[in-house]
Chain A
Amino acid sequence: MILTGLLLGAVLGYVLQRSRFCVTGAFRDLYMARSARYFIPFLLAIAIQAIGVAALTGAGVIAPEAASFAPLAVIGGGLLFGVGIIMAGGCATGTYYRAGEGLIGSWVALIFYALFAAVMKYGPLGGFTEAARARTVGATTIQETLGVSVWVPTILFSALVAALVVRQVRKNAGKKAVRLPARRTGIGHYLADVAWNPWVGGVLLGLIAIAAWVLSTASGRNGGLGITTPSAKIVTFLTTGDVTLVDWSVMLVLGILLGSFIAAKLSGEFRWRVPDSATILRSAGGGVAMGVGAALAGGCTIGNSLVETSLFSYQGWVSFAAIMLGTWGAAWFFLMRPQKAAAQNRPAPVLSPAG
């Protein structure tokens, strides 16, 4: 039943759009703004999923297989992906849901991301990707190395996240940001008017990730949320007509577009938005780096930083760190460095007296 993928993808797209959940922003702002407002909710999503996956695996409902660890491919790919998502202004899921909001720049990034993921996975560079990812080391997961149950890292990590959540909640307290005036009342106000806070986004993301394991397994695909492989599959299906490529995960990513479009349309937040040519070019370059990087690393901020991390695989956590370092380096290069240069050379943004 691959249609459950479309449904869950739509729920995911809806949640991401309403909660403005952006993993790129979460990583970037940890460095640029020293803010963990979205980063801690993202860790919470990993912890929720880890608990759910460990329980369901124990119950025999699902049987996740962590990816073998190919250090060079994962580190190199992760860094490249991190740079790409800063250039594109959003990670893979972020790009899907912004495309659903009508951002032309995100469509450009999305097309180049899917195209280059296909080139790397099913196209002329497929052999290179395979060779790079075949250079594995023996270790796969943390619990395997330590010779302990998966519950040991799960409980330790969850306890750490719980402490971080308490700290962040205290930090947020007392800083009430002004909200937009309400346009709807009753349930509509909560569903398609007021923005959902990052905690709601993080908790729902964790629950959706658990549901993905169950629904995907039921459809015959052993896996959780995944974005890069289905994106590459769409391109390859469209160019070869090979229908066997259309699986649950393909439905999932199409669902994200659909769900985000519905959320944005209902909330008055959909409009085709055309950026300037510099943004389009940067988005295209970012999309290429994302496709190549995610194919090498074996996943994006979802497949690796959210899903593989919850299995406590080395690929998941090493790529989490590599992607984050990539976003920090790129944030300095593309966002902070020009700022500093601008402060000295360029006249500041144009201001005009109002009224």
Chain B
Amino acid sequence: MPAYTLQTNGAVCPFPLIDAKNAMQQLNTGDDLIIGFDCTQATDSLPQWAAEDGHEVVAFDRTGDAGWSITVRKGA
């Protein structure tokens, strides 16, 4: 299944979440969206959004100081 990356570094909240939602709309069920971000609050809002909208979080980890990456698989 295809995977796509969305780099949001430098964007402050709520923009990483807004962009992630937008990007997700272009994907098909089962596609992976790999979101890179450096807004601390998004460590809360992105996994929360995935849980609420029924997407699976395949990976979620730090990429360095104040940098994170989350891979969200689009749910049905």
Residue numbers of A with Cβ under 8 A of B are 17, 20, 22, 25, 28-29, 32, 37, 89, 98, 101-103, 105, 175-181, 183, 195, 264, 268-271, 273-276, 279, 335, 339, 342-343, 348-355
Given A98-B40, A177-B48, 4 other A-B residues pairs in contact with their CB atoms under 8 A: A175-B51, A178-B47, A275-B12, A335-B14
Q: Considering residues B5, B14, B32, which has the most beta carbons from chain A within 10 angstroms of its beta carbon? A: B14
Question: A-B pairs with the 5 shortest C-beta distances?
Answer: A271-B66, A178-B57, A177-B47, A354-B3, A351-B4
Q: What's the nearest-Cβ distance from chain B to residue A256, in Å? A: 15
Q: CA A40 – CA B61 in complex, angstroms?
A: 29
B residues apposed to A, CB below 8 Å = 2-6, 10-14, 18-19, 22-23, 25-26, 32-34, 38, 40-41, 43-45, 47-48, 50-52, 57, 60-62, 64-68
**What CA separation (Å) do A275 and B22 show in the bound complex?**
21
Alpha-carbon distance A268/B63, docked complex (angstroms): 11
Closest A residue to B34 by beta carbon equals: A354
B6 x A270 contact (CB < 8 A): no
Question: Which chain A residue lies CB-closest to B71?
Answer: A354
How many residue pairs link A and B with beta carbons under 8 A? The number is: 108
> Quick check: B51 and A178 within 8 Å, CB to CB?
yes
B65 near A22: Cβ-Cβ < 8 Å: no
Pairs A–B under 8 Å by Cβ, sample size 26: A17-B40, A25-B13, A28-B14, A89-B12, A98-B40, A101-B66, A175-B52, A177-B47, A177-B48, A178-B60, A195-B44, A264-B40, A268-B66, A271-B66, A273-B10, A273-B38, A279-B10, A342-B22, A343-B22, A348-B22, A349-B19, A351-B23, A353-B2, A353-B3, A354-B3, A354-B5
- Assuming the A-B contacts A268-B66, A270-B65, are A180 and B60 also in contact, with contact meaning beta carbons closer than 8 angstroms in the complex? yes
CB distance from B57 to the nearest CB of A (A): 4
Contact A25 B61 (CB under 8 A): no
Residues of B within 8 A of A335 (CB): 14, 18
Q: How far is the CA of A354 from the CA of B6 in the complex (A)?
A: 10
